[in-house]
Chain A
Amino acid sequence: MKEILLVLFIFSIVLTAMVNRLRTYVKLLAFQGLVLFALSFIELDEITPANLAWISIETLLFKSVAVPWFLFHLINRNKITREAEPFLPHFASLIITVLIIAASYALTTLINDLNADRISFVTALSTLFFGLYFICSRRKILSHLIGYIIIENAVFILTLSIGNEMPLLVNLGVLLDIFASVLLMGFFAGKIGDVFKTDDISSITSLRD
């Protein structure tokens, strides 16, 4: 079951590399949130109302509802629909994504005494590198924000695969921070749309030496 979920997650990554509508990106993010909920549900040692509520807030409410809703709101306000002219064609993007996944797999097999779950680890690593690649290869500021959220999802899977329970207070701080940074970045991304009348990162280069 867990393997199926992880493969589904990888599938959503590959799809993200291929499509070019911002709305589709956001839908894929919401889908990733659902997969993450299922994954953390399987990983639960025992089902108590407290930890069920905790993972639901962390994944369902935050990753599948709040963030996608907020991103849709930004897309509507800035009236953008598609990711016009990425730096690379989609086919190249797809090839690079597959290479990233293969490289992550190869890297993980090199490590003999991996104490973490191997497939989760590969998924997390390839998502992390894909997120960085996604940020570098897209021009729209909102795509950059989406790339950041993909990286956050990678970190979430990495946390699951390592399985080191952190104290609740610490966990809460981590979640709040990520939520606040997404909100603040979204706020400024919206502002950039208003002020520069563009959402293209290549036109924001007035600061230099």
Chain B
Amino acid sequence: MQYFNTDSLSILMLGALAVVLVPVLIHSLIYFRDFKATAKRTSVYFAALAVLTAALAFGYTANHIVLTWVFTEITTLAAGVLIYHHRDALALEAVWKYIFVCAISVTLIFVGILFWSLALIHCGSSDLSYANLTLHQQQMNPLWLKLGYIFIFAGFTAKMGLFPMFTAGIDAKDNAPSPVSAMLSAPLVNLGFTGIYRSYAVLALSPDGSWARVMMVATALLTLFIATTYMVKIRNYKRMLAYSSIEHSALVILGICFGKAGIMAALLHLLMHSLVKSGLFLQMPQLAKTYGTKMMDSMGGYLKLNPTGALTLLLGLFSITAIPPSGMFITELKIFIAMLASGHWYVMVLCALFLTVLIWAICKSIISVIFLPMAEEDELKAPKIKVSPAENICILILFIGAIYLGYFCPGYINELISDASGLIF
């Protein structure tokens, strides 16, 4: 077991995976009860889910950069099988794009790793574990270090959902079954983050650390800009959540660029995002049963049709847009304060601008689903299957868990986060 260790970062990520996995499994069972599938498809689904979970767990705990690479690739393969669950033309298109873009991105990561190994040989060492790479950060050739980091960062953006490789994830989350979308937008995003964070730790304190931060801030701002522009016109519930995921990934990347306070806030933000986003995706089957579509234009009057679901969705809306009582309000505030404290007020102003438009766009869509009456022709088409209020229990637990983490974060989680930020500072 020399290639794996459980440091604070991996414990946090494993914890988030465990917490998200239970509702995902329960809702998978509900999903198969409501949307019948053949026995073969069901068994393929659960087998692929098990492979995905195992690959994620190994990926978080790997202490050798090539092993992180290997398990990132395995998540692509397992996720591909899951995305193809519906076996129709749209699912096929989504899975082809997802696997292809991810395979290319993961190859880019490997090229980056080779560049780092070139720099490492020059220092008379060959062990590509993160600890050894960090040890040699001062002696490695800056050119190879920077070039390698660009490739590694660009490759992991496919998993985390950042510019330039975010596109694959959007189509995948749109067409996968909702419990799978929850896995893709929470634990899998965390794996992308783990890869980026551990590689960033390698060069954060070297002379090229500030160069890496400039590159990451620029990428994150560009991602926020893209998320904002798409969000304004988006009508599909699942695509809206997918774009909201890339928005939060961008905020987390911004957080880790601004000192220890920023890193701690970013890590907590990532954990809460895992809970809230998976909860929102798990709400989708209820909307599908009520309206028979993903398009929010054809929805309305959710409060009358499914009161419990509507109130849960409202709490989810507050949570994801970081409107108090959302826990994410606290972490976003802390990230903004970290930006101001390091004198980068213009980054904060840009972020605040983008976030204002984003929050307006999400609120407009979801509030119209909950409160506005449905159009008449949609009223006739909607299947309006009765949904049991008990289906909201898991989702509510996830949302309330995120609020609890934000306001009353338990001491041991704080310690873990502080220790994980010690990888860099």
What 1/0 mask marks residues of chain B from 73 to 105 whose CB sits below 8 Å from any chain A CB? 110110011001000011011111101100110
In the complex, B293 has a CB within 8 A of chain A: no
Query: Which residues of B are found within 8 Å of A174, using beta-carbon distances?
Result: 66, 69-70, 110
Query: Which residues of B are found within 8 Å of A169, using beta-carbon distances?
Result: 3
Q: Is the CB of A115 within 8 A of B104?
A: no
Nearest CB of A to B303, in Å:
27
A148→B105 CA distance, assembly (Å): 11
Interface pick from A38-46, A48-56, A69-77, A191-199: A191-199
A209→B226 CA distance, assembly (Å): 13
Q: Which of B107-121 contact A (CB under 8 A)?
A: 107, 110-111, 114, 117-118, 120-121
Nearest CB of A to B92, in Å:
6
Q: Please classify the interface of chain B as helix (H, G, I), strand (E, B), loop, or mixed, using the class held by over half of its residues.
A: helix
Query: Which residues of A are found within 8 Å of B171, using beta-carbon distances?
Result: 207
Q: Is the CB of A207 within 8 A of B64?
A: no
Question: Which residue in A111, A144, A152 is a CB contact (below 8 Å) of B100?
Answer: A144
**Residue in chain B with minimal CB distance to A111:** B143
Q: Is the CB of A181 within 8 A of B96?
A: no
- Asked whether A148 and B111 contact (CB < 8 A) given A181-B77, A206-B90, the answer is no
Nearest CB of A to B334, in Å:
32
**Residue in chain A with minimal CB distance to B89:** A195
Question: How many residues of B are in contact with the other chain, CB < 8 A?
Answer: 46
In the complex, B122 has a CB within 8 A of chain A: yes
In the complex, A8 has a CB within 8 A of chain B: no
Question: Which residue in B90, B99, B236 is a CB contact (below 8 Å) of A181?
Answer: B99
Question: Which residue in B69, B81, B174, B233 is a CB contact (below 8 Å) of A207?
Answer: B174
A180→B118 CA distance, assembly (Å): 27
User: Which of A141, A144, A191 has the most B CB atoms < 10 Å from its CB?
Assistant: A191
Query: Which residues of A are found within 8 Å of B230, using beta-carbon distances?
Result: 209
Query: Which residues of B are found within 8 Å of A206, using beta-carbon distances?
Result: 89-90, 93
Query: Which residues of A are found within 8 Å of B236, using beta-carbon distances?
Result: 209
Nearest CB of A to B183, in Å:
18
A-B contact count (CB 8 A): 106
Q: Which of A166-194 contact B (CB under 8 A)?
A: 166, 169-170, 173-174, 177, 180-181, 184-185, 188-189, 191-192
What 1/0 mask marks residues of chain A from 22 to 38 whose CB sits below 8 Å from any chain B CB? 00000000000000000
Q: Is the CB of A188 within 8 A of B97?
A: no
Query: Which residues of B are found within 8 Å of A84, using beta-carbon distances?
Result: none
Query: Which residues of B are found within 8 Å of A207, using beta-carbon distances?
Result: 90, 93-94, 97, 171, 174-175
Interface pick from A60-68, A95-103, A155-163: A155-163
Q: Is the CB of A164 within 8 A of B77?
A: no
Query: Which residues of A are found within 8 Å of B107, using beta-carbon distances?
Result: 148, 151-152, 155
Query: Which residues of B are found within 8 Å of A128, using beta-carbon distances?
Result: 111
In the complex, B141 has a CB within 8 A of chain A: yes
Nearest CB of B to A163, in Å:
8
Nearest CB of B to A207, in Å:
5
In the complex, B305 has a CB within 8 A of chain A: no
Q: Is the CB of A177 within 8 A of B117?
A: no
Q: Is the CB of A148 within 8 A of B100?
A: yes
Q: Is the CB of B80 within 8 A of A184?
A: yes
A113→B144 CA distance, assembly (Å): 11
Query: Which residues of B are found within 8 Å of A3, using beta-carbon distances?
Result: none
Query: Which residues of A are found within 8 Å of B100, using beta-carbon distances?
Result: 144, 148, 185
- Asked whether A115 and B74 contact (CB < 8 A) given A158-B114, A191-B92, the answer is no
Query: Which residues of B are found within 8 Å of A162, using beta-carbon distances?
Result: 114, 117-118, 121
Query: Which residues of A are found within 8 Å of B3, using beta-carbon distances?
Result: 169-170
In the complex, B5 has a CB within 8 A of chain A: no
A128→B93 CA distance, assembly (Å): 26
The 4 closest A-B pairs by CB, nearest first: A173-B70, A177-B73, A164-B117, A207-B171
13 contacts between A and B (CB under 8 A): A115-B118, A115-B121, A148-B100, A155-B110, A164-B114, A166-B66, A169-B3, A173-B67, A180-B74, A180-B77, A181-B77, A185-B99, A207-B90
Task: Identify 5 new A-B residue pairs, CB closer than 8 A, beyond the known A115-B121, A152-B107.
Answer: A111-B143, A185-B99, A196-B89, A204-B96, A209-B233
